[in-house]
Structure 1
Amino acid sequence: MLKKFLRRCHNAVSRDIAQQMLAARFSLFLSPLLQNWAYIPFTNWAPGPEFLCHIANEICIRQRRTIVEFGSGVSTILMARLAKINALDVRIYSIDQNQDWQDRVAAICAADGTLGPVHFLCRPARLEDGKHDDALVDMVIVDGKAEAAAENRASALDFVAPHLGPSFAIFLHDTDRAEEQAILDGWKKKIACTHTIAADRYAVLLNDAAMFDTTPQNLC
């Protein structure tokens, strides 16, 4: 009995150490976006470094250029920095329900000198309220609500679906939770996607015939 207990403890500690080492590795990959910039407030609400690294990989490798995200925050700031240091022609439509929080995120981007590609939208009824061009959306990041009345994130797909291009990536965070897993399953029935990537805390739906795996190293 004691041996089994000790084995379980050992396995749990080993998993924790492995996760910490993996997080440190991803943070190293992201270091150009973290060092010598304005400070970013990281909390337990923020997505993990593997999620952020995967987003950066997707933008750079598949050349995603029109991005819609639900939930302004760390991802907004890092994508704006990536656009600046890699000289990327991207448009980031960042949607949030909290004007005060969005203003704080915008202030960090302003301090970084990276506000150019970011369009902040607070509680828009439609994407057209802030998107005034015909460019098709090729990347969606869902880590917040789609509209002020939404009780969950399920409506994000309906919100952006009319604007999706033929090739796209949709990131959904917190798929370790039952509600988000149900949302993901529902989305799979609504849209055509060629691939699904599942990580510990998030998933990605892809529609890309020329599939090139952008999953961060050691995450697969």
Structure 2
Amino acid sequence: MKKAVVKILKNLNLIPSIKEDLKFNDLKGDDVYSLNILQPLLSGKPYLPFNGGALRPTGIVYILNEILINKRSSVLEFGSGITTILIARMIKKNKLNIVYKSVEHNLEWKNYLHNKLQEEGLLDQVELIYADLKKVAKDNETIWYDCDHLNNVLENIFFDLIIVDGPPANYPEIRYARLPVVDFIKYKLKSNYCIFIDDAHRDGEKEMISFFKKSYEITESHTVSKTFYVIYSKSLFNPIPIYYQ
């Protein structure tokens, strides 16, 4: 019977498709599990529009755990979105004293998030920073957030948690758009820090991780649920929401 089923699947050319689907089953399971953990920040609240550009629930839970368990006090996020709202909700719900800055290049989206945060009384928990995208250098085609503006608004602030989820880098021609973060944050970090990188399975982010490893003193780093990468300057309690044997 088993051989007959396999033969039918081969004839229908379904085996490659099934294998491709199975590759992502564990990721889907991670996210379903993590969504359950997130319920205290979702139940009874306005609906949040999760889409393909949003951070996966597993990554969000990891970040929330990191903030609470390892007592992060200053967070800098590149790429504002649903994660921004959920972190702000947790800061308020848990009565945390945290400096939280979130950088966004799309003014319309930034204004949308501002209104959502205002509706929930969360503007005291996070500052949204609009920064347009500009060429990093005259002889370089890479565009990143306006560094001069960011240096002004972030002057004399040091961070112990960095979230890299922007700017967009989801097409081949912009796949290296996030690389400038490596140089920008180098002198804005506390001695004990954590860097969280989304979309770590993509070529551009892999290159960025390689640059971090070459130019930073890293005590520990690892991949989480295949698409996130986490870097630590010091070994601390691992807040990963799910373990595999």
The TM tier, using the shorter chain, reads: 0.7 to 0.9
One of 148, 154, 162 as aligned partner of 1:140: 162
Q: Can you give the 5+ residue segments of structure 2 that lack an aligned partner in the other structure? A: 132-145, 169-173
Per-residue CA deviations over 1:151-176 (Å, capped at 9, x if unaligned) read 61011122222110111110111111
Counterpart in the other structure of 1:108: 116
Counterpart in the other structure of 2:216: 191
Counterpart in the other structure of 1:163: 188
Counterpart in the other structure of 1:19: 27
The answer to whether the 8 A contact 2:162-2:196 is kept is: yes
Taking only the aligned residue pairs, the percentage that are identical comes to 27
Quick one: structure 1 residues 100 and 188, their matched pair in 2 at CA, closer, same or farther if it must change by over 3 Å?
Answer: same
Q: CA deviation at 1:84?
A: 0.4
Counterpart in the other structure of 2:50: 42
What SS does the aligned partner of 1:161 have?
coil
Quick one: structure 1 residues 219 and 144, their matched pair in 2 at CA, closer, same or farther if it must change by over 3 Å?
Answer: farther
What SS does the aligned partner of 1:187 have?
helix
In 2: Cα distance, 1:125 partner to 1:16 partner = 37
Counterpart in the other structure of 1:30: 38
Counterpart in the other structure of 1:51: 59
In 2: Cα distance, 1:25 partner to 1:18 partner = 11
Q: What CA RMSD, in Å, does the superposition of the two structures yield over aligned residues?
A: 2.4
Per-residue CA deviations over 1:164-205 (Å, capped at 9, x if unaligned) read 011111011111111111111111111111111202111011
In 2: Cα distance, 1:125 partner to 1:7 partner = 49
Q: CA deviation at 1:107?
A: 1.2
Query: Number of residues paired by the alignment?
Result: 215
One of 227, 233, 241 as aligned partner of 1:207: 233
Runs of 4+ aligned structure 1 residues displaced above 6 Å come to: 6-10
Q: Can you give the 5+ residue segments of structure 1 that lack an aligned partner in the other structure? A: none
Q: CA deviation at 1:89?
A: 0.6
The answer to whether the 8 A contact 2:78-2:103 is kept is: yes
Counterpart in the other structure of 2:139: none
Q: Within the alignment, does 1:79 sit opposite 2:104 as a pair? A: no
In 1: Cα distance, 2:18 partner to 2:106 partner = 43
TM-score (norm 2): 0.79
One of 91, 102, 113 as aligned partner of 1:94: 102
What SS does the aligned partner of 2:187 have?
helix
In 1: Cα distance, 2:63 partner to 2:77 partner = 11
Q: CA deviation at 1:38?
A: 2.3
The answer to whether the 8 A contact 2:178-2:204 is kept is: no
Quick one: structure 1 residues 9 and 73, their matched pair in 2 at CA, closer, same or farther if it must change by over 3 Å?
Answer: closer
Per-residue CA deviations over 1:1-48 (Å, capped at 9, x if unaligned) read 835958777665555544333221100111111122222111111111
In 1: Cα distance, 2:130 partner to 2:166 partner = 12
In 2: Cα distance, 1:105 partner to 1:143 partner = 16
TM-score (norm 1): 0.88
